[in-house]
Every structure is written in structure tokens, then in C-alpha cells.
């Protein structure tokens, strides 16, 4: 019986050793499987992160390329717009110069009318000159006229400035009474500041006592 117990103990010991061995192997296998799973998860996470980074970089590149294309198109359109504006401005300038030249050629130089010493009333011969001026202005309504009053060198600057203005106004009134619209006329006095003849004698003074007419095209 003692032998049987001994044999039983030996068998039990072998079984325990086998159990321990099997359990240890199982634990090692489980640890290895968990490590493999963890590595696979890490690989998947890295792959997902790499793909996300790639997609982000692609989106940023596409957005940048789109912005560059739009900028290039805007710059091209802006260059074309500015070129058209410059061309239009140059054409308008050319046409204006052409029209001004044409009108300058069409506009006569209206003859001055003269005045007696210290007078601003119109003489008969000067009225005839102003009649011709009025006729021309009535036929050529695209012009305005500035009427300048001038005096000779005698007298004070203040007195001659006032006298020159009265001479210009006298010529304007005659033209207005002849039908020329007041809006087309303006007057200015230069007194004795702009003599036609710089001489200091009666001949020079007679020339300087005058109303002078300056034609300008009306703006359209």
C-alpha cells in the first residue's frame, strides 16, 4: 500500500509539473499574441496618421494652386482693364486735341475795339466791329468769349482797373443786346498791366485803350 501511495504521489507530481509547464506556455503564447496585436494596432494608427497627413498636404497644395491660379487670372484681368483704360484715355485725349485744333482753325481772331482817353462809351466804328462779332458768335454757338478791358499807362492802377472793367462791360452789353447769350460771355479787367504797345506816346496809348476778345470752345 505504501508503494501505491508513492506511485500516486509521483504521478501527481508529474501531473503538476505538466500543468505548470502547459500554463507557462499558454501565458507566453498570450503575451506574444497581445504584443502582435499591439504592433498591428500601432501600424494601423501610423498608416492612418500618414494618410491623414498626406490628404492634408494634398488639400493644402490644391488650395494653394487654386489661389495662385485665381490670382494669376485676376492680375491678367486687371492688366487688361488698365490697358483698356489707358487706351481709352489716350484716344479721348487725341480726339480732344483734334477737336481743339479744328475749332482753333475755325475760330477767327476777333478784332479789338478801342476807346477814347478816359472813356468807356463805344464809338460808331467800334459798334460796327462788335456787330460783326455778334453775328459770328450767333452762328458759332460752340464758343464762349472772354472780354478783357485794358487802359493806357496814365492814371493810378486802381482807377485804370475800374475803367478797364467798364470798357469790358460796355462791349459785353452791346453783344448781349445783339442776341449773344450772357452765359457765353465773361469780363475781366487788366487795367494798365498788359499794354499792347509798350511805348509812352499817344500812338501807343491809343492802341492800349481797348477791349480784347478771347474765344474758347464750350465744353460738351
- Domain 109-217 in CATH 3.30.930.10? The answer is no
The domain ranges of the chain are: 1-106, 109-217
Q: What per-residue confidence (pLDDT) applies to 9? A: 64
Task: Give pLDDT, residue 90.
Answer: 82
Residue 199 phi/psi, 5° resolution? Answer: -70, 165
Total-model pTM:
0.53
Which residue ranges of the chain lie beneath pLDDT 70? 1-10, 12-13, 15-32, 92, 95-108, 220
69: its cell numbers: 491660379
Q: Which tens digits make up the pLDDT trace of 8-65?
A: 666 766 765 665 555 555 555 655 677 778 888 888 888 889 999 998 999 999 999 9
CA dist 51 → 61, 88, 172 (Å)? 15, 55, 90
**The pLDDT of residue 197:** 93
Rounded to an integer, what distance in angstroms lies between the CA atom of residue 31 and that of residue 27?
A: 6
Amino acid at each position: 500500500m505504501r508503494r501505491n501511495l508513492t506511485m500516486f504521489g509521483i504521478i501527481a507530481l508529474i501531473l503538476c509539473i505538466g500543468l505548470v509547464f502547459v500554463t507557462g506556455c499558454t501565458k507566453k503564447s498570450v503575451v506574444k499574441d497581445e504584443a502582435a496585436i499591439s504592433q498591428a494596432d500601432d501600424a494601423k494608427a501610423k498608416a492612418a496618421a500618414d494618410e491623414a497627413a498626406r490628404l492634408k498636404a494634398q488639400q493644402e497644395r490644391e488650395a494653394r494652386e487654386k489661389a495662385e491660379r485665381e490670382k494669376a487670372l485676376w492680375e491678367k484681368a486687371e492688366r487688361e482693364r488698365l490697358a483698356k483704360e489707358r487706351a481709352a484715355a489716350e484716344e479721348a485725349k487725341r480726339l480732344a486735341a483734334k477737336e481743339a485744333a479744328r475749332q482753333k482753325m475755325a475760330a477767327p481772331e476777333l478784332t479789338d475795339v478801342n476807346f477814347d482817353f478816359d472813356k468807356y462809351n463805344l464809338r460808331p466804328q467800334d459798334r460796327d466791329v462788335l456787330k460783326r462779332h455778334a453775328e459770328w458768335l450767333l452762328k458759332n454757338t460752340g464758343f464762349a468769349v472772354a472780354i478783357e478791358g485794358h487802359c493806357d499807362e496814365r492814371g493810378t492802377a486802381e482807377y485804370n482797373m475800374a475803367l478797364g472793367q467798364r470798357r469790358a462791360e460796355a462791349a459785353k452789353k452791346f453783344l448781349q443786346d445783339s442776341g449773344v447769350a450772357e452765359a457765353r460771355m465773361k469780363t475781366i479787367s487788366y487795367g494798365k498791366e498788359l499794354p499792347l504797345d509798350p511805348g509812352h506816346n499817344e500812338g501807343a496809348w491809343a492802341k492800349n485803350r481797348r477791349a480784347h476778345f478771347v474765344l474758347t470752345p464750350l465744353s460738351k
